Amino acid sequence: MIYLDNCSTTMPLDEVCSVMDQSMRHEWGNPSSLHHLGISAEKQIILCKKELAEILSCEPAEICFTSCGTESINMALKGFWDANPRAGKHMITSMGEHKATLDTCRYLEKKGIEVDYLPLNDSGEIDFGLLAEKIRPQTSLISLLHINNETGSMLDVPGLVQLRNRCFPNVRIHLDCVQSFGKNVSRIGRLGVDFASISAHKIHGPKGIGIFYHNKSAKVSPLIHGGGQQKNLRSGTESLALIKGMTVAAREACRSLDLNFWYVTALKEQLLCELSCMQVDYRCNSPKGSSPYILNISFPGVKAQTLLHTLDSFGIYVSTISACSSKKQIQSHVLLAMGLDPALIGSSIRISFNRFNTPDEIIETAKRIKESVDMLKYRK
C-alpha cells in the first residue's frame, strides 16, 4: 500500500496505539471520581495538558479538549457570540474554507450574524486590501484557514495579525490549524491569534479528539453542557486514552517538525520531477509556496474519479477534493473559487504526503500515474 491521502486522515503511530491500549486497559477511571483510580486519571490528564501547552507555547488553561477539528471550529464561531452577545454581529471568512467553517457560518447567518466570504485569487490566497475594506465597526471575528486542505495554500498569518493589531485591535481571529499543526507549525500560542482548531487524526494520532485553543483574554461559551468538566467549557467525561494518544502524536510530530518539512518538500518536488521526466501532461493547482504536504494536480482529459480508482487498484491511495465531500460528486468549491477551468477541476486529484512516505513510493506512484493517464486519457 502507498498511502497518499494524509489530509483525509493519517495512520496512527505504533506508539499512539500502544499508549492508548495500555491506558484503556489499566487507566479507565473517571477523571472526576474522588477515589484513587479517578485521581490518577485526572493527574495524567493534567500532565498531558502541560506537555501539550509546552508544545503549543501556551498555557494549559488555554487548551480545551474537543472531539475533533470540526467541534473546535464550531466552538470558536458559535461559542464566541454566545459569550459576547454585545459584540458586533459581523464576521469575515473566505470562500475557500473547510465545510466545518462554511456550514457553521451559514448557521450563524440564520441567527442574525452577517458574514462576508472573501474571494480567492488564482493562487488560493485572499487579498488583505479587500479584507481591510470589508472590516466595519460591527466586525468582531475573522476566521481563516492556515493551510488550505485541498491545495495547500498558506495564509500569511504574521501579515494578518499585524494588520489586525495595527488597524482593528478589537477584532478576534480564529485560525483553522487542522492541516498545519504538527506539519508546518507547532507554537500556535505564539501566532498572535485568539482561537485555533487542531485535530489529532491528521498527525498520526487517534480519531475522536482535537484541541480548541483559546487565548486567555478571549471569552467563549461552551457548546456542550453537563457535568462541568474542563472548567465548564466542554462537559463530558474526558478520555484519558485519547488524550494520551494525541499527546504522543503531537510530541512525535513536533519533535522534528523542520526536518520533516524539508523531507516532505523533497518528496513533493521529486513527484513533480518524475512526472515531468516521463512527459506526463499535468497542471499543478497548488501554488508556489504552498504546504509541501499537499499537492493538488490535474491531468487534462482524465476523469479524476476514474484515475483515483485505477490508482487504488495498484494499491495507491489518493483523493479527489476533500474526504467529507468526495462521496457527494460535487466540484471542489476551493478550485472553483480560484477560478480554475471546470474541466481541469474534474481532472484534479489531491496527493497528500506524510513524513513516513519514501522516495521509492514516489517513484512507483509516478510510474503508475503515467500508466493510468496514458490508458484513461480522453476515455469517456
Name the residue among 345, 300, 302 with its Cα closest to residue 325. Answer: 345
Q: Interface mask (CB under 6 A) for ligand PLP, residues 322-341, using x and -?
A: x-------------------
Phi and psi of 297, rounded to 5°?
Answer: -145, 135
d(CA 47, CA 38): 14
d(CA 276, CA 79): 48
Nearer Cβ to ligand PLP (62/71): 71
CA terminus-to-terminus distance, the chain: 28
Q: How far is CA 219 from CA 13, 72, 76, in A?
A: 35, 14, 10
Question: Binding residue for ligand PLP (CB under 6 A) from 178, 267, 349, 362?
Answer: 178
Q: Interface mask (CB under 6 A) for ligand PLP, residues 283-322, using x and -?
A: ---------------------------------------x
Nearer Cβ to ligand PLP (200/307): 200
Question: Binding residue for ligand PLP (CB under 6 A) from 2, 19, 41, 68?
Answer: 68
Q: Which grid cell sits at 144?
A: 481563516
**In angstroms, what is the minimal distance from the CB of 172 to ligand PLP?**
18
Question: Binding residue for ligand PLP (CB under 6 A) from 6, 139, 151, 199?
Answer: 199
DSSP string across 149-166: TTT--B--HHHHHHHHHH
Q: Interface mask (CB under 6 A) for ligand PLP, residues 225-264, using x and -?
A: ----------------------------------------
Tell me whether residue 64 is one of the annotated catalytic residues: no
**Number of residues located near ligand PLP, criterion CB under 6 A:** 14
Q: Which grid cell sits at 90?
A: 459581523
Name the residue among 18, 7, 54 with its Cα closest to residue 254. Answer: 54
Contacting positions for ligand PLP (CB under 6 A):
7, 68-70, 98, 100, 145, 149, 176, 178-179, 199, 210, 322
Active centre residues (catalytic)? 324
